Structure 1
């Protein structure tokens, strides 16, 4: 029969209470929207992160036992595999499993936090830190219910690694050598980009050893076994190295080789290419060039997607502080408290890699703040526990700790109650994709912007050209071109890009060239601009091997200018072209013949001109569209000035005005989605709703 000490019982109680608190807070969003039908599909709320559909597609295919070649399904990745396992063994629907997984996995963060606090004999600090860290802005945002992504364990696992490192250094017990190595192996399995943080832990332990425990052979063993777990080989090979090293360390006769083993492990790390992905990951987020340049062939220039991703953008200090601790005052107290904590317990220095990665938010974007949350939570929690020590009696001590804890939790709870994020798609949009699933084959392609790639693949079970993971400038360019150019050239490039993409999977000798560069060369051009110009004439297209569909959601209106950026540049020299004019608004008011569209855009309906910041531009067309009560689309088009430069479109059913130039007006998106004007030689209607349109390419 198991027996527990009082300290162990208190530890388990604190873990249970903190875990239940974290779960309960995450259920707020569920109860806010559980009966909201636009967020429900298949009798369950849908998830609220685009990337989640990548893992969902992989898990779905694992459970089905089949997926098509080159479909980019995540069947080999940890998040999908774990999800499939849960869906297989648990008596819940697949939709319920992926919705609730972040709630329970993300809440596991409380366990290593409290165990770390136990190692320095301050369980109260650990309990307070666990409460705060589990619901702090950025950690909650990325582990809330429905935020089905790798983030649900991306901080939990390094915190377990921090716990094992601290206990290893404090106790020098052999079991923590193996636990630390296994932590790294699991972390790398779950999140292959973990190498930067693992390397930072390694470097700090090495520095700590050289400064404080240079003669402690145990620390060199710890460093070596960590390095074996980090080398650039497959997981099973790394595991073999770890087991061999652990076996040697259990034999005293090998102690004299401890430094040699460490040296060998470091050499092996660099020889196996272990440092390469670290540099690539850091340079990708820290050095964000707007234009990327190819290194081979024509050296084409492409627009970098990092310029348009909010999570990779720099953030102001107040946002930075709030995301880490919930409030600027709490953040500053956390910094002071952490410094004091390190002064009292120098092993807490090992939390610096997490803090350092979190502070990269200033140059690398807000996504990094999540890493600093749990370690800095220790700081303010330590201050609270230290203040309580000076209270005159236990009652006052408990009251002071409770009051101060409530103060630091309250801003985060207020944030959570107000953080009513929508699902990725609404039910009507998903119905369109579900209908498409019954019309398209699994080998067919859907052209859409990368934001919608994963959900399209999950709900329609088709292929896409770009998605949340495949969205480099060179693959975004063709799709951007297709969506923002006239129908004839867009249709031709769609057929070309799909067939070239499929052929690239079969290429036995792949090159560094992008599809657009291959097209340029194979059609006999040395200048990509000339090749794109040739699409306006007659060219011989590749043999059709599958159907292509265009998915055009109404929501893309919000990002149309961003979509256009990726093809609005000269690929040969990287120079950006003049931007097309696109303005959309729901904020307007009319007084007689003057229509004020806000933000300095005013329409004179008598003269048919648009005044944009005191610059008068003539209107060419005035269009009004609507859906009647039977959802039948109607539109009225009036040509008011053949020499006009802008077009005024009133989408009455959406209460939206558009002001666009001729290039935008003639684009595939505006013609097919907004106006439902399509070339019947090139396209055919498949699904038409107010929420999204799907057209099938005929060529």
Structure 2
């Protein structure tokens, strides 16, 4: 009895070790961040990625019972929100701490399927090494650190468990493994349908390829693949489960009910296995093709043309995590460095050759390679495959030593030393990176005060707050209002509207656009609601044929805005200044072709936090000198200088900001130097950016009191309310 359960106990012990190391390494960030007040608001931890507040808000609505008026009705009933709500009721965490700590814990569970796969391919010791390495890999740990409350925390767990059971099916068919594989395929789809669709569809394709080449006469495998295809099809979950139950019933050798009818049907169907596969393929094609094509188009298209024939920029190429990686970046994010990456890549090739069934993992590798084109977010999918390849190659190479050493003690000693050295060589760089990784919160703690002020002033969850999309998920969570743009907006439409409002040099134009978008946002017109927000405005005001003239007219004080029953707010945090020049590009375009009129390189918004007053000049960040007497801004390193247009000193007097401006004769560069004594910072800003609504409302608090009222002001953020 003892020997029977000992292997199981060892497996559990090794898995616990791998999970513990992963959690321990991630916990270091919890300790480090606790020392900084800006990681907290009202005593609660802030999250570390924008998307975290999407599911955090959805989960919060689910827990608080805001079902009918949830900010994200779909996400509220999606698996991440439901699972988090369950954890909230069974774990001793506050709601904010829950969102912060769940990624640390759940992401570490990826060690389980990696261990099981590696053990099946090598042995339990190399499985332990692979299970330790995968959760610590840089590309994965960076996206599953404390507060990174996003779908990434279980993005690999469910598909990899599905791969484990699919691997077992191909190795030796068992209906039980088919059922478990289908369960994890469904869970993967419920957790993140887009990535699961691509990964699992491709894996099934490679599994079918393997079957046709290596095991084509095993008809049971076609049935299994048909079941798995249906598992990842976008059909109603109840219909899916019923269909799967029926098909599994006919696949089973032991009929549990309706045996006579079942036997008759089976006897009349000649090609049952092929039929099940064809049913699965048909369901999948009908249900999934639209999503696959639309999501692919989102990532590869850099422009979109709306119905109004305005060519707008999409977010392709503007999101940091979608910026292409270099080979060296990919190596670092999957294995820690170039050497282990090369070893892992060689190991993957050897693994695919020696264990043909492992070809089902190829989609994970390919998706990580796509990060060379589509950005770092995809690199983490390669982590488990490279870990498996690395340790499989080590396992394969060490087995060759069997022919070199006859003495088992010497042989085992050599294997042990080499294994430990190579394992540490791969694991330690990733471990130290994870342990020392430091990521700032989405916004600093003092930037939340303005959102809290909006929450206190707001009278309804239907009130609207306008800001940039970086804060789109953050605002409903803290301000308890709706937004017009958020992180899931990828087409550029709401980016254009928000950019226009925040970047316009005409405050009346920003005010009018805010009113118009609110009207479009709340419309219940059956015809208008068919269109996106921008076209709703253009159709409503009969401007679809000449949108430019209509949009230009928004700066006219005689433009009549609609009456809006809900409150409209502007949220302008300090952190928006660093991205204002990029924000401007989404509306500063030629409407006919989408070309940016003033690219980001032609604009300036530089910040200098280190200021030394040398009486005759200011020394900025130890690199620049500014002479206020004559307006010369000089680079110490190059010796080059420019004459600025204006110098503004902004100081708080009582509850208001006062600006003292010095104008200079040379107007060629049109550069403004700003000394904000309240922020204790210098700014160098070009004319266009300086006149934008964001800069005017945040740095100067220069606003038209007939249009806006200031409801909160501090160093972190400003909140305004439209009149």
Fold agreement, TM-score > 0.5: yes
- Quick one: structure 1 residues 43 and 656, their matched pair in 2 at CA, closer, same or farther if it must change by over 3 Å? closer
CA contact (8 A) 1:647 1:662 kept: yes
Q: 1:583 to 1:515 in 2, by over 3 A?
A: same
Report the equivalent of 1:324.
Answer: 334
CA deviation vs aligned residue, 1:321-346 (integer Å, no higher than 9, x gap)? 00001111011000111222223322
Alignment-derived partner of residue 204 in structure 1 = 206
In 2 relative to 1, CA 255–657 (structure 1 residues): closer, same or farther, beyond 3 Å?
A: farther
Q: Aligned residue for 2:248? A: 246
Deviation at 1:72, TM superposition (A): 2.9
Q: Is 1:18–1:131's contact at 8 Å kept on the other side of the alignment?
A: yes
Q: Secondary structure at the match of 2:312?
A: strand
What is the SS of the residue equivalent to 1:685? strand
Matches within 5 A, 1:461-610: 461-485=480-504, 486-503=506-523, 506-509=524-527, 513-525=531-543, 526-537=545-556, 538-579=558-599, 581-586=603-608, 605-608=628-631
Query: 1:649-668 counterparts in 2 under 5 A?
Result: 649-668=674-693
Instruction: Identify the match of residue 356 of structure 2 among 346, 353, 360.
Output: 346
Instruction: Quote the residue 1:359 is aligned against.
Output: 369
Cα distance in 2 for residues equivalent to 1:589 and 1:186: 58
Secondary structure class of the residue paired with 2:560 = coil
- 8 Å Cα contact 2:169-2:177 kept in structure 1: yes
**Contact 1:388-1:398 at 8 Å conserved across structures:** no
CA distance in 1, matches of 2:203, 2:294: 19
Shift of 1:96: 1.7
Taking the aligned partners of 1:435 and 1:451, their CA distance within structure 2 comes to: 19
- 2:444 aligned partner: 426
Provide the rounded CA distance (Å) in 1 between the counterparts of 2:305 and 2:622: 36
SS of residue in 2 equivalent to 1:145:
coil
Tell me by how many angstroms 1:657 deviates: 2.9
- Aligned partners of 1:220 and 1:27: how far apart in 2? 45
Asked if 2 retains the 8 angstrom alpha-carbon contact of 1:138 and 1:324, the reply is yes
CA distance in 2, matches of 1:98, 1:270: 36
Query: How far 1:616 sits from its partner (Å)?
Result: 8.2
Q: Distance in 1 between matches of 2:270 and 2:652?
A: 80
**Aligned-residue offset at 1:395:** 4.0
TM-superposition CA deviations, 1:265-293 (whole Å, max 9, x none): 21222223x122122223322x232x221
Of stretches 614-623 and 331-340 in structure 1, the one that deviates more from structure 2 is: 614-623
1:694 matched residue in structure 2:
719
Describe the shift of the 1:174–1:624 C-alpha distance in structure 2 as closer, same or farther (beyond 3 A): same
Instruction: Tell me, yes or no, if structure 1 residue 292 matches structure 2 residue 304.
Output: yes
Take 1:428 and 1:434, find their aligned partners in 2: how far apart are those partners?
10
Once the two structures are TM-superposed, the CA of residue 677 in structure 1 deviates from its matched residue by 1.1
1:12 and 1:581 map into 2 onto residues whose CA distance is 58
Q: Does 2:462 match 1:443?
A: yes
Structure 1 match to 2:118: 117
1: CA distance, partners of 2:652 / 2:7:
68
The 8 Å contact of residues 304 and 491 in structure 2, kept in 1 or not, is answered as: no
Deviation at 1:521, TM superposition (A): 3.7
Distance 1:208 1:26 in 2: 39
The separation in 2 between residues aligned to 1:414 and 1:626, in whole angstroms, is: 45
CA distance in 2, matches of 1:256, 1:16: 46
> Secondary structure of the residue that 1:377 maps to in structure 2?
helix
Q: Distance in 2 between matches of 1:665 and 1:363?
A: 35
TM-score normalised according to structure 1 size:
0.93
The equivalent position to 2:221 in structure 1, one of 219, 233, 258, is: 219
Match of 2:386 in 1: 376
Structure-2 change in CA distance of 1:127 and 1:627 (3 Å): farther
Q: What secondary structure does 1:119 align onto? A: helix
Q: Confirm or deny: 8 A CA contact 1:292 1:302 kept in the other structure.
A: yes
- 2:238 counterpart of 1:236: yes
Q: Which of 648, 657, 668 does residue 623 from structure 1 map onto? A: 648
Counterparts of 2:631 and 2:35, CA distance in 1: 47
Distance 1:446 1:8, change over 3 A: same
1:631 to partner: Cα distance: 8.2
Structure 2 runs not aligned, ≥5 long: 254-262
Task: Quote the offset at 1:53 in angstroms.
Answer: 0.7
CA distance in 1, matches of 2:655, 2:542: 48
Contact 1:529 1:572 in 2 (8 A): no
Shift of 1:173: 0.6
Deviates more, 1:416-425 or 1:254-263: 254-263
Distance 2:100 2:641 in 1: 51
Take 1:588 and 1:36, find their aligned partners in 2: how far apart are those partners? 23
**Structure 1 residues 106, 643: CA separation in 2 closer, same or farther (over 3 Å shift)?**
closer
Q: Following the alignment from structure 2 to structure 1, what is the Cα–Cα distance between the partners of residues 384 and 529?
A: 44
Matched residues, number:
690
1:276 aligns with 2:277: no
SS class of match (2:555) = coil
Choose the corresponding residue for 1:647, options 644, 667, 672: 672
Q: Is 2:637 the partner of 1:637?
A: no
Take 1:375 and 1:444, find their aligned partners in 2: how far apart are those partners? 47
Moved more, 345-354 or 3-12: 3-12
1:534-593 alpha-carbon deviations (Å, 9 max, x no partner): 112212211212111111111111101111110010223323213463231317888886
Aligned twin of 2:395: 385
Distance between the aligned counterparts of 1:239 and 1:515, measured in 2? 38
Which SS does the other structure have where 1:5 is aligned?
helix
Matched, 1:400 2:402: no
Shift of the alpha carbon at 1:387?
A: 4.7
Instruction: Give the TM-score normalised by the residue count of structure 2.
Output: 0.90
1:261 aligns with 2:276: yes
Distance 2:542 2:170 in 1: 65
Inter-partner Cα distance in structure 2 for 1:533 and 1:686:
29
Query: What is the root-mean-square deviation in Å for CA atoms of aligned residues?
Result: 2.7
Deviation at 1:79, TM superposition (A): 1.0
Tell me if the contact between 1:63 and 1:88 (Cα under 8 Å) persists in the aligned partners. Answer: no
Match of 2:696 in 1: 671
- Closer/same/farther in 2, CA of residues 591 and 432 from structure 1, 3 Å limit: closer
State the Cα distance separating 1:606 from its structure 2 match: 4.5
In the alignment, the residues of structure 1 paired with residue 625 and residue 539 of structure 2 have an alpha-carbon distance, to the nearest angstrom, of: 47
Q: Is the contact between residue 517 and residue 528 of structure 1 (CA under 8 Å) also seen in structure 2? A: no
Query: Is the contact made by 1:189 and 1:235 (CA closer than 8 Å) also made in structure 2?
Result: no
Q: Say if 1:601 and 1:493 are closer, same or farther in 2 by CA, change over 3 A.
A: farther
The structural deviation recorded for 1:419 is 1.7
CA 1:317 to 1:199, structure 2 compared with 1: closer, same or farther past 3 Å? Answer: same
| Distance verdict in 2 for CA 1:70–1:516, change over 3 Å | farther
SS of alignment partner, residue 76 of structure 2: coil
For residue 259 of structure 2, what is the aligned residue in structure 1? none
**What is the deviation of 1:309?**
0.3
Superimposed CA distance per residue, residues 590-623 of structure 1 (whole angstroms, 9 cap, x where no aligned partner): 8886778799987664443668999987644310
Q: For the residues of structure 2 that align with 1:366 and 1:33, how far apart are their CA atoms?
A: 24
